[in-house]
Structure 1
Amino acid sequence: MDFDPVTMHRHQLGPWRKWRDERPGSAFVYGIPMLVDGFAGAFARGVAGEFDEAYVRAARALVESGHGDALVRLGWEPNNRAIGPWQATDDPAGYAALFRHVVEVFRATSGADFTFELSSSLGLQPGRRLRGFADYYPGDAYVDWLGMNAYDLKWGDPRASPAGRWSWIRSQVMGLDAHVAFVRARGKRNVCAEWGLHRRGDAFAGGGDDAAFVDRMAEYFVWGEVAYQAYFDHDWGGGTLAEFPAGRAVYVKRFGSRVVPGG
Structure 2
Amino acid sequence: MFRPRRRLASACVGTVTAGILATGAALAAPEEEARAGSDIAMGAFLDSGTAGVTRIPHLSNWLGGKEIRVGHTYLPGDVWPAIEGNVNFLASWAAWRQGRDDRMFVLNVPMQARNEGRVPDYQVAQLIRAGAEGQYDHHFRRLAERLVSLGVPDTVIVLGWEMNGTTYTHRCGPDPENWKAYWKRVVNTMRDVPGQRFKFDFAPSRGTDNIAWTRCYPGDDVVDIIGMDSYDQAPGRTFDEQATQPYGLQAQVDFAKAHGKPISYPEWGLFRHGDNPEYVRRMLKWIEQHKPIYHTITDYCPHGVWQCKANPESSKVFREALTPEAAVEPTPVVPTPPVVPTPPTVPTPQIPTPQIPTPQIPRPQIPTPQVPTPDLPTPTPTPMPEPPVDPGPEVPVPPVEPLPDPEPSLHPTPEPTPDPTPTPLPQPDLPQPNLPKPTAPPQPPSPPNPPQPPTNSNQWCMPLNFGEWLSKLVGHKAVCFTFDWGKGTGFWPF
TM-score by length of 2: 0.45
1:23 equivalenced with 2:103 (yes/no): no
> What amino acid does structure 1 have at the position aligned with 2:183?
F
Structure-2 change in CA distance of 1:81 and 1:18 (3 Å): same
Partner of 2:208: 124
The Cα shift of 1:40 comes to 2.6
Structure-2 change in CA distance of 1:168 and 1:7 (3 Å): same
Where in structure 2 are there 5+ consecutive unaligned residues? 1-78, 325-494
Partner of 1:2: 80
Partner of 1:190: 263
Instruction: Say which SS state the counterpart of residue 73 (structure 1) adopts.
Output: strand
The Cα shift of 1:89 comes to 2.1
Instruction: Say which SS state the counterpart of residue 15 (structure 1) adopts.
Output: helix
1:252 equivalenced with 2:319 (yes/no): yes
Partner of 2:232: 152
Where in structure 1 are there 5+ consecutive unaligned residues? 199-205, 258-263
The Cα shift of 1:228 comes to 0.7
The Cα shift of 1:225 comes to 2.5
The 2-side partners of 1:44 and 1:36 are apart by 14
Deviations, residues 13-33 of structure 1 (Å, cap 9, x unaligned): 210122123333211111111
Instruction: Say which SS state the counterpart of residue 186 (structure 2) adopts.
Output: helix
> What amino acid does structure 1 have at the position aligned with 2:288?
V
The 2-side partners of 1:76 and 1:6 are apart by 17
1:178 equivalenced with 2:251 (yes/no): yes
> Relative to structure 2, which stretch is displaced further, 168-177 or 187-196?
168-177
The 2-side partners of 1:63 and 1:239 are apart by 33
Q: 1:54 aligns with which of 132, 139, 151?
A: 139
Q: Is the 8 A contact 1:3 1:55 kept in 2?
A: no
> What amino acid does structure 1 have at the position aligned with 2:221?
A
Q: Is the 8 A contact 2:137 2:185 kept in 1?
A: no
The 1-side partners of 2:174 and 2:240 are apart by 28
1:74 equivalenced with 2:159 (yes/no): yes
Report which of the two has the higher share of helix.
1
> Relative to structure 2, which stretch is displaced further, 56-65 or 99-108?
56-65
Partner of 2:169: 85
> What amino acid does structure 2 have at the position aligned with 1:240?
G
Partner of 2:431: none
| Larger Cα-atom Rg | 2
The Cα shift of 1:222 comes to 2.4
The 2-side partners of 1:171 and 1:6 are apart by 38
Partner of 2:287: 221
Structure-2 change in CA distance of 1:59 and 1:245 (3 Å): same
Percent identity of equivalent pairs: 28
The 2-side partners of 1:254 and 1:6 are apart by 36
Q: Is the 8 A contact 1:33 1:74 kept in 2?
A: yes
Residues paired across the two proteins, number? 235
The 2-side partners of 1:170 and 1:100 are apart by 29
Deviations, residues 18-67 of structure 1 (Å, cap 9, x unaligned): 21233332111111111122763312211211111211111111111111
The 2-side partners of 1:115 and 1:145 are apart by 7
The Cα shift of 1:6 comes to 6.5
Partner of 1:141: 221
The Cα shift of 1:255 comes to 1.3
Instruction: Say which SS state the counterpart of residue 218 (structure 2) adopts.
Output: coil
Matches within 5 A, 1:97-108: 97-108=181-192
Q: Is the 8 A contact 1:3 1:57 kept in 2?
A: no
Q: Is the 8 A contact 1:3 1:58 kept in 2?
A: no
Aligned residues: CA RMSD: 2.0
Partner of 2:128: 43
Structure-2 change in CA distance of 1:81 and 1:69 (3 Å): same
Partner of 1:63: 148
1:34 equivalenced with 2:111 (yes/no): yes
Q: Is the 8 A contact 1:43 1:95 kept in 2?
A: yes
> Relative to structure 2, which stretch is displaced further, 37-46 or 206-215?
37-46
The Cα shift of 1:143 comes to 0.3
The 1-side partners of 2:213 and 2:134 are apart by 26
